[in-house]
Structure 1
């Protein structure tokens, strides 16, 4: 998280007494972290050799010990502070890993209620031993960021994957190899042969144009079926497909929307239940009724928070000349801003 120091900020920093031993440990830890190249979605990390800036960064992640410093740091726009940090899921994941907990997955659900979901892997004994500890760690992280809209649910991860027996494994291996050899010998263009002996289904994916796919689809299906029957595996359904995967570059503007979503959904005061966007528009859904006397004030406050962020240096470097219209809805779908 970057902090821009003005002369006033420096004065406030200079007033704070930092125990030498604690400062040395902080600097050493910061330099070690600076050697790591860790990039994730929406992650922006600024490493610096300034002890003063390093100390401020530590303060932001914990308890402010100086009212004067709290006033200075509070000048950082709320959403900009989130944008310059790691997203909350990554923070939780890394903290749990650092503490040695065996996590299978970490995520946030926004369906019936806002919930941080942590799945633990390991035995029932291990799960029962650490689940309360994990919940406490996560709650402390949320509290440190002022996120009061979430409940925390820690559950045990169960693998639902079916394991093939030896006979099924042999059938899968034989058919995959035999069909692949046959199609290669016939010089067909394909990138996948997948066999499911539990359902008697075989998938073959063709590579090429629509015209090429249509010209060989039936022949490929027939040849694969003949291979299966020759090996005494009858009744296979052969599915010949043409699926392509297009990998698009990351949309930088999606990082802005992700920041807005995290910031507004994570605090009860905003009463936000959903965030969406289309071309040049951001839609915010709230739980307040339009008849509530405070609805208009809430809508304008949310709009101000978003505009403050979108006009920041970070956001403008991504948006350029583009802009968003912000539309905020009440629970009864009336515009309240």
Structure 2
């Protein structure tokens, strides 16, 4: 099986590597980094091969892996450093070494202009206009709705044209949209990767694949960045949970044996975890309150009204939060940047949060066309109609989207019960929504209803547990720097990635991390009343190889 996987990855590399490398290059603007991420894309495709379900083409699947890796890479770089290195210094750095990759002169202006627009616009232009992906496949790659792909592309094209005009690369009066489409398609062909470089990277990928364990299983990375605001923070009483677990550890043993001594040594872990979980919840509550306070302070300032928007994110809640402030234009930014940062720093200090990261960004102002406005209005009306119909029938919409080509409304509804019951309800809702839309809007839209699968429900139930494991193990052991999980194949795999190297001492540390993670799982599972299922905790070293694992039934 592993030999078949390796051969298929090699075949996919021959077909798609140039396209993937150029996509990443257009995003990171650094050839060496683009090559490394291309390498990681194909190695990851090998590891995750079992999860490729052919619901999309292998090209779409590979691009989704490449996109996720690129986003992770860009996220880990500090915003200020990223801005300076990628945008301000690109003319001084040899980011396109000619011995490795070359771009034809007539496409170099377009390449530079793409580098100047924000990454959300750049990637949707690259995927739709340069790589030629359909709206559906682009949505899959970016994990967006189809309507978001369309609306973002509508906004992105005028921004790119404006940049090209600003740089003097095109004449506003004579340049047509069709000319831009042709130029974008041509850019794909004009980025030329040297054959020698391509073959050398292939050898490196195959060599690394051969070093991997033959039984490596597919992984599903957990989104690490928590974007404000997802949910309200609940205050939990932990002492009762700790008592139950402690009693469970001691009952059943009438004397202190060596095994019992080992158990006793783990009791402090439980106390630590219980206290740490409470501190984490307090910290998240504090971050929530801080965000609200900053938003309030900025909104109270009449000069900022309608010109400032703030967002907050963090990788781990125990680390400094990052604030992004979007402002209307460059002049406003220069005039008020220090003042805005001072407000945020003072608010943070009042909540006893000493370190925060702040970056101000100018939000592109693009007035949507009349056609765009009409599409957005129609989409909102269709979703409102759909929600009213579904709620009238006593069900809840979990997710929804609208496509204009073909005309289709897709909804995920919370329908419990047997498959037979689900199919009956599905048919009723689809017909009712279709009929009401036609009656009110005089347009025929296909309506598709789905419900959550067993794995989706299980994933939602376990999500707070996964988050706790990720947060608490990182707080306790700074070597832990990544997290993943997989429900397929069974049992559930909980994977902790670390910076550890192989060796006897590090194996002992891996065992400690595993035991700590297990106790976090059990505490959170009992707290949330989540059904017990077999699971395996896997600790990986810095090279992503298995260092230690243990099965828990």
Tell me the TM-score normalised to structure 1 length. Answer: 0.48
Question: Which has the larger helix fraction?
Answer: 2
Q: Considering Cα pairs closer than 8 Å and 6+ residues apart, tell me whether 1 or 2 has the greater RCO.
A: 1
Q: TM-score under structure 2 normalisation?
A: 0.32
Larger Rg: 1
